[in-house]
Amino acid sequence: MKGRLIILDHIGDREAAALMVDGRLEDLLIDTDAPRPGTIYRAVARRPVKGQGGLFLDTPDGSAFLRQVRGIAPGQSMLVQVTGYAEPGKALPVTQKLLFKSRFAIVTPEAPGINISRAIRNDEDRIRIRAAAEATPAEETGYGLILRSACQSGSDDEIIDDITAMLDLADAVLADADGAAETLTDGDGPHLMAWRDWSEPATVETEPGGFNRHGVTDDIDTLKRPRAPLPGGASLYIEPTRALVAVDVNTGSDTSLAAGLKANIATARDLPRQLRLRGLGGQITLDLAPMAKKDRRGFETALRAAFKTDTEDTVLAGWTPLGHYELQRKRGRLALAEALQ
């Protein structure tokens, strides 16, 4: 099927959403029992941990860890937001910089000002969107606004209503900072995240069984295996360990002189999608196919372009002495294997 298709379905009793582009699975969201990123707690501080650059907090969902803190006394209440999923046996990662995110706008209480997405280049659209934002009480509250690219296709009333709802939520949460540990807002589930983040024009299917009808179930079965095929018969094996995610690139049956470079470029282009679908983050080490050192720049250019539009923050760390390439990727999702348990 050509075009963009959003499928809202369930895997067992878990809410799930899939994004397909021209018949290929591009993104997959599955709800879990773990606290969702975006959840806001009123947390209670424990004592700072020397040598770790932060302190542990008590939340209704267990221990959380807040980095780079000063002037916080044990027993003090504070508002924090979950930034990602915790590694097994570790505390939830949280931040004090709260964001209230919706389809058209992100409210930033600690960063005043109105900022419009760079993806909106049309001057008339930018003027219209800013005027809609200025028609809300945002500037009176002193909060900041990030106006997302979806505003370009939204009406003025939709943008105003969306911003106003997020401002009201921010007011309610920020006014509730004192007291015992409590969950103030839950992070968005897969269906709401699909509406919020997959904002480009698409066909939306909500009838039960959509995953089976469009092959998403088969794609998920493929993602459970380490091997991912690449064009030209090449492949990569993606295997998470406790310490890192190892990615091994193979040229397959191609024995030409350019086989290694072609396989590595294909890896660079598909790696963000594979990591996104498998929910993998942390330290990632690529054991690439053999190629000349002069070809490394072309590989880096392809990798940088591929990750430019990816949804998770990724640092391209560079080459190791043994010729491996390393990345550091935010753990913004739970690994697929854990999500399906």
- For the stretch 61-98, pLDDT in tens is 999 999 877 778 889 999 999 999 988 788 999 999 99
Domain that holds residue 321: 224-339
Domain for residue 193, yes or no? Answer: no
Same domain, yes or no: 291 and 276: yes
Domain for residue 76, yes or no? Answer: yes
The rounded radius of gyration (Å) of the Cα atoms in the chain is 22
Q: How crowded is residue 95: how many other Cβ atoms within 10 Å of its Cβ?
A: 15
Q: Is the pLDDT of residue 37 over 90?
A: yes
Q: How crowded is residue 228: how many other Cβ atoms within 10 Å of its Cβ?
A: 20
Tell me how far apart the alpha carbons of residues 232 and 234 are, in angstroms, rounded to a whole number. Answer: 6
CATH number at residue 66: 2.40.50.140
Number of domains in the chain: 4
Same domain, yes or no: 17 and 76: no
Q: Looking at residue 86, what is its pLDDT?
A: 86
Task: Tell me the average pLDDT across 311-337.
Answer: 93
Same domain, yes or no: 229 and 332: yes
Same domain, yes or no: 55 and 69: yes
Same domain, yes or no: 248 and 309: yes
262 — phi, psi (to 5°)?
-65, -40
Same domain, yes or no: 63 and 167: no
CA angle centred on 211, ends 208 and 212, rounded to 5°: 95
Same domain, yes or no: 279 and 291: yes
Among candidate residues 141, 210, 139, 200, the one with its CA nearest the CA of residue 171: 141
Same domain, yes or no: 92 and 116: no
- Sequence-distant (≥ 6) Cβ neighbours of residue 61 within 8 angstroms: 35, 39, 41, 92, 183
Tell me how far apart the alpha carbons of residues 45 and 320 are, in angstroms, rounded to a whole number. Answer: 39
Domain for residue 218, yes or no? Answer: no
Among candidate residues 154, 193, 216, the one with its CA nearest the CA of residue 21: 216
Long-range pairs of 250-257 with CB within 8 A, sequence gap ≥ 24: 250/289, 251/289
- For the stretch 135-183, pLDDT in tens is 999 988 999 999 999 999 999 999 999 999 999 999 999 999 999 999 9
Which tops the pLDDT comparison, 331 or 50? 331
- For the stretch 183-225, pLDDT in tens is 999 999 999 999 999 999 999 999 999 999 999 999 999 999 9
Q: Is the pLDDT of residue 331 over 90?
A: no
Tell me how far apart the alpha carbons of residues 179 and 188 are, in angstroms, rounded to a whole number. Answer: 24
CA dihedral of residues 69, 70, 71, 73 (deg, nearest 10): 40
Q: Are the beta carbons of 252 and 266 closer than 8 angstroms? A: no
Same domain, yes or no: 124 and 167: yes
Same domain, yes or no: 245 and 300: yes
Q: Looking at residue 341, what is its pLDDT?
A: 80
> Two tokens at 145?
């606004």
182 — phi, psi (to 5°)?
-160, 150
Tell me how far apart the alpha carbons of residues 218 and 167 are, in angstroms, rounded to a whole number. Answer: 41
Same domain, yes or no: 15 and 114: no
Task: Tell me the average pLDDT across 228-248.
Answer: 94
Domain for residue 183, yes or no? Answer: no
Among candidate residues 218, 220, 221, 222, the one with its CA nearest the CA of residue 235: 222
Boundary residue ending a domain (168, 186, 213): 213
User: What is the percent of the chain where pLDDT is above 70?
Assistant: 99
Domain for residue 195, yes or no? Answer: no
CATH number at residue 123: 3.30.230.10
* pLDDT band for position 311 (cuts 50, 70, 90): confident
Domain for residue 194, yes or no? Answer: no
Same domain, yes or no: 157 and 93: no
Task: Tell me the average pLDDT across 40-50.
Answer: 89
Strand partners of residue 49 = 54
Tell me how far apart the alpha carbons of residues 22 and 5 are, in angstroms, rounded to a whole number. Answer: 8
Q: Looking at residue 54, what is its pLDDT?
A: 86
Q: Looking at residue 127, what is its pLDDT?
A: 96
Domain for residue 72, yes or no? Answer: yes
- For the stretch 242-275, pLDDT in tens is 899 999 999 988 888 899 999 999 999 999 999 9
Q: Looking at residue 68, what is its pLDDT?
A: 73
Q: Are the beta carbons of 297 and 267 closer than 8 angstroms? A: no
Q: Looking at residue 190, what is its pLDDT?
A: 97
Q: Is the pLDDT of residue 52 over 80?
A: no
- Sequence-distant (≥ 6) Cβ neighbours of residue 316 within 8 angstroms: 300, 303, 304, 307, 327
* pLDDT band for position 100 (cuts 50, 70, 90): very high
DSSP 291-316: --GGGHHHHHHHHHHHHHT-SS-EEE
Domain for residue 186, yes or no? Answer: no
